[in-house]
Chains A and B, each alone.
Chain A
């Protein structure tokens, strides 16, 4: 209980990101927005955050997620931005 939290350790080698079971990723038809719904809060996702998170199926590793996004969005700075984004999501405890 006294050490650093689970989200503060570096990502394990061969990490296959998956949404935390506490988190529900959904589209909100009423607001036309993608949401992360948690036990006590709702996070409105901006930009391509939801597209990235939908690839976090616990099956693909980080390279596979980056490759998939590169093929969908040629020329976008995917290789730099996506691992940093997912690391932030992991620190929050929303992705593990």
Chain B
């Protein structure tokens, strides 16, 4: 086996605790309890090892990372390891004193989530009154001179408000607005009937994005994360399994992607048991779907295999029960029918009628 390329990025899920209960949360269904979280010293050591391994970028995420009282010390640890830090936050709990402490510790940028342009709808989707805190947080980040990204997860309940969402992001001073169509794993898969957009909604949303891109001329970066259920093309998930980045969960479990906790027989390694370098290079979990050896037909001989890496392993597992199958999002997958059935008008959970805010979410919560 040739040595794997060094990882560039580490997603640090500092805690699964969160005041928000978004129905598409990327945390696993089984959330890590606060008592099992890594200590300050353990995160410091993880980040030191990550820097040695070649990681240059970390997202300090959660849950809500501001719930960690030692967040500034963790920022300092990353900075000392030569790792660029971006805080990924709901904005709840960010005040000027907290931000000043984090900035002094070396924090370089902030990514803020927004659920909807309308305050009441944003609070309803988040399952928590949080819109006002977000607006305040954005102003504080701008005042501190840090780059600000706004991250919006898109679904049936907010796609029709895309124009207003982009406007809100610009009003708040965002340098970058990430428009991320919901990826259906974990909580989002549980809520798929309520979240799945219609083709018409997506077509209008694409037009809206294009119109704003033309108008902005690159001054603000608009990122469109594709809705893979609708394109017939599998996404190049994580840039390949164990190829670009790694995720460290609150209890020290290390995963090739945040959704991989759902794979039942992965047996993921933990930083409490092994050095990060061994985990990256030698653990069974990181080698299982690395490269192309594991691929079957139709991926094995497909010309797209070096571009999409067979798509997403977690989606293959979620929809077929076998993580080594071709991602059903791909039109070439023998299982593509399970996705097509949902995305044609007749089979769409919203029916063929106009989309309406559905509510009725299974909100993300411990013991969900």
Q: Give the interface of A toward B (CB within 8 A).
A: 1-2, 4-8, 21-22, 24, 26, 28, 30-31, 35, 37-40, 42
Contact residues in A for B86 (Cβ distance below 8 Å): 39-40
Smallest distance from the beta carbon of A60 to chain B beta carbons, Å? 22
Residues 40-60 of B, flagged 1 when their CB comes within 8 A of A and 0 if not, give 000000000000111011000
Contact residues in B for A1 (Cβ distance below 8 Å): 170, 216, 219-220
Contact residues in A for B193 (Cβ distance below 8 Å): none
CA distance A30 to B109 in the complex (A): 24
Residues 122-151 of B, flagged 1 when their CB comes within 8 A of A and 0 if not, give 000000000000000000000001110100
CA distance A71 to B108 in the complex (A): 34
User: Do B219 and A28 have beta carbons less than 8 Å apart?
Assistant: no
Q: 20 new A-B pairs (CB below 8 Å) besides A22-B146, A24-B84?
A: A1-B170, A2-B215, A5-B218, A6-B219, A8-B219, A21-B146, A22-B108, A22-B109, A22-B147, A22-B175, A26-B82, A28-B54, A30-B53, A30-B54, A35-B56, A37-B56, A39-B109, A39-B176, A40-B176, A42-B8
CB of B217 within 8 Å of the partner chain: yes
* CB-based A-B contact count at 8 angstroms: 59
Contact residues in B for A5 (Cβ distance below 8 Å): 216-220
23 A-B contacts, Cβ less than 8 Å apart? A2-B215, A2-B216, A4-B217, A4-B219, A5-B217, A5-B219, A6-B219, A7-B218, A8-B217, A21-B145, A22-B108, A22-B147, A24-B108, A26-B82, A28-B54, A30-B52, A30-B54, A35-B56, A37-B56, A39-B175, A40-B176, A42-B8, A42-B57
**Given the contacts A5-B217, A5-B219, A30-B53, A39 and B82 also touching, CB distance less than 8 Å:** no
Q: Chain B interface: which size bin?
A: 20 to 34
**Given the contacts A21-B145, A24-B84, A39 and B54 also touching, CB distance less than 8 Å:** no
User: Do B108 and A40 have beta carbons less than 8 Å apart?
Assistant: no
CA distance A22 to B223 in the complex (A): 18
Contact residues in A for B54 (Cβ distance below 8 Å): 28, 30-31
Tell me the chain B residues, 140-194 only, with Cβ under 8 Å from chain A. Answer: 145-147, 149, 170, 175-176
B84, B86, B176, most chain A CB atoms within 10 A: B84
User: Do A39 and B217 have beta carbons less than 8 Å apart?
Assistant: no
Contact residues in B for A8 (Cβ distance below 8 Å): 217-219
Contact residues in B for A35 (Cβ distance below 8 Å): 56
CB of B111 within 8 Å of the partner chain: yes
Pairs of residues from A and B, 7 with the lowest C-beta to C-beta distance, nearest first: A5-B219, A30-B54, A39-B109, A22-B147, A37-B84, A39-B147, A5-B218
CA distance A39 to B43 in the complex (A): 21
User: Do B149 and A39 have beta carbons less than 8 Å apart?
Assistant: yes
User: Do A37 and B57 have beta carbons less than 8 Å apart?
Assistant: yes
**Given the contacts A1-B216, A5-B216, A42 and B56 also touching, CB distance less than 8 Å:** yes
Closest to A35 in B: B56
User: Do B53 and A39 have beta carbons less than 8 Å apart?
Assistant: no
A5, A7, A21, A39, most chain B CB atoms within 10 A: A39
CA distance A39 to B54 in the complex (A): 17
Closest to B5 in A: A31
Residues 68-105 of B, flagged 1 when their CB comes within 8 A of A and 0 if not, give 00000000000000101010000000000000000000
User: Do B219 and A39 have beta carbons less than 8 Å apart?
Assistant: no
Closest to B86 in A: A39
Residues 216-228 of B, flagged 1 when their CB comes within 8 A of A and 0 if not, give 1111100100000
CA distance A40 to B151 in the complex (A): 12
Contact residues in B for A26 (Cβ distance below 8 Å): 56, 82
CA distance A38 to B215 in the complex (A): 24
Closest to B178 in A: A40
CA distance A1 to B216 in the complex (A): 7
B57, B86, B216, most chain A CB atoms within 10 A: B57
